[in-house]
Structure 1
Amino acid sequence: MEHLGDHRWFADLRGAVVCAGSFLGLLLLVDEAAETFTAARGALWSCLALLLLLVLFPPRVTAGEGWLTVRGVLRTRRVRTDRLVAAYTPGRTGRRLVFLDAYGSRVELDAQVLVANPPLWHHLDTDIRVAAARGHLSEHPAALRDLSERIDRETAWTVFKISGLTDGVDEQPSTH
């Protein structure tokens, strides 16, 4: 089975590096223009830029048959998606998804990663259905149903757009 991943990850990483590098360049430029640049200040600005890079560093989401992995800067988390016992969105915004498996493992990720990667979502959705069929996940949680509908809607909108069926329509219809 092939591994699926977030196809936007490299672009997100590049954006984080550009942002941190621009921040460092701006700090060094301002410091040099004010004639206050020293090696110690340069090291401080470099540390701040590195800290910004670490904050902006995007987690890498990959999936294979029966598993989902989220690799961050400091740790890697993996759940067995064919053994999920819970899936929910903490808080009211629904921007994050949390998955818990039968072994106590937990993964949290931005729902937008799945929206932007329909093949990754459909692979995950298949494993979620396997978990439900095996009795691990008692029901398809509302958060996942809502996400599935959103992904299907955005995928259909993209197909319509590419095929020219949206000519004269200004934007995608809202669901709210």
Structure 2
Amino acid sequence: MVLCALFLLVDWDAGSLTLLRSLLWLTLSATLFAVLLPHRVTAGPGWLAVGTPWRRHTVRTDALVAVRQFGGVSSHLVLRDAHGGRLELDPRVLAANPLIWHELDTGVHRSVERGTLRQGADVLEQLGHRIDDETARAVLRASGLS
């Protein structure tokens, strides 16, 4: 909002502000805000949600049917549940938030026990090992042992 006001103020001061340019600055500011606004990831017993500025995607972690990891420039996980829920998530979010990782891991174990998770258990197992390794290194670094 401040950026939009700044754009409008500079354009007005230059004497070139028109309705079309105002709409252009407003659209540019809204697009920039939407791109830079991080997704909000929340979790609870049996569910995981990713909130975007326009929508909230939720999956039941205790009823997952598939987990896929796509690599490339920015790696991301795609989770699907038995109720049709689907969400995309950056694995770094899980590494940075141990409580969210714990909720997801607990739900995955329930999905495996119930037999609903048919694809991707190995992806989450590898991710769990990587998160555990990073956590152990951080603890050793903080204690001065590494």
TM-score of Structure 1 vs Structure 2, range by shorter chain: 0.7 to 0.9
Runs of 4 or more above 4 Å deviation = 20-24, 27-33, 91-94
Instruction: Please provide the CA RMSD for this pair.
Output: 2.5
Name the residue aligned to 2:37. 57
Shift of 1:157: 1.5
Please give the residue correspondences for 1:38-53 in structure 2 after superposition, counting only pairs within 5 Å.
Answer: 38-40=17-19, 41-53=21-33
| In the alignment, structure 1 residue 103 sits paired with structure 2 residue 103 | no
Q: What is the percentage of aligned positions where both structures have the same residue?
A: 44
User: Which of 125, 128, 131 is 2:105 aligned to?
Assistant: 125
- What aligned pairs does 1:62-101 form with structure 2 within 5 A after superposition? 62-92=42-72, 95-101=75-81
Question: CA separation in 2, counterparts of 1:57 and 1:163?
Answer: 34
Aligned length: 145
Deviation (angstroms), 1:29: 7.5
Give per-residue Cα distances to partners, 1:68-91, cap 9 Å, x unaligned. 111111111111100101111135
Show structure 2 runs of 5+ residues with no match: none
List gaps (5 residues or longer) in structure 1: 1-19, 167-176
CA distance in 2, matches of 1:111, 1:134: 24
| SS class of match (1:88) | strand
- Could you give the per-residue CA deviations for residues 80-105 of structure 1, whole angstroms, max 9, x where no partner exists? 10010111113556711011111121
CA distances 1:134-176 after superposition (whole Å, capped 9, x unpaired): 111146633212211221111111111211122xxxxxxxxxx
AA at the equivalent of 1:148: G
How does the TM-score come out when normalised to structure 2?
A: 0.83
* 1:1-33 residue CA offsets vs partner (Å, 9 max, x unmatched): xxxxxxxxxxxxxxxxxxx855874x5576478
TM-score (norm 1): 0.70
CA distance in 1, matches of 2:145, 2:87: 38
Alignment partners' CA distance in 2, 1:54 and 1:159? 35
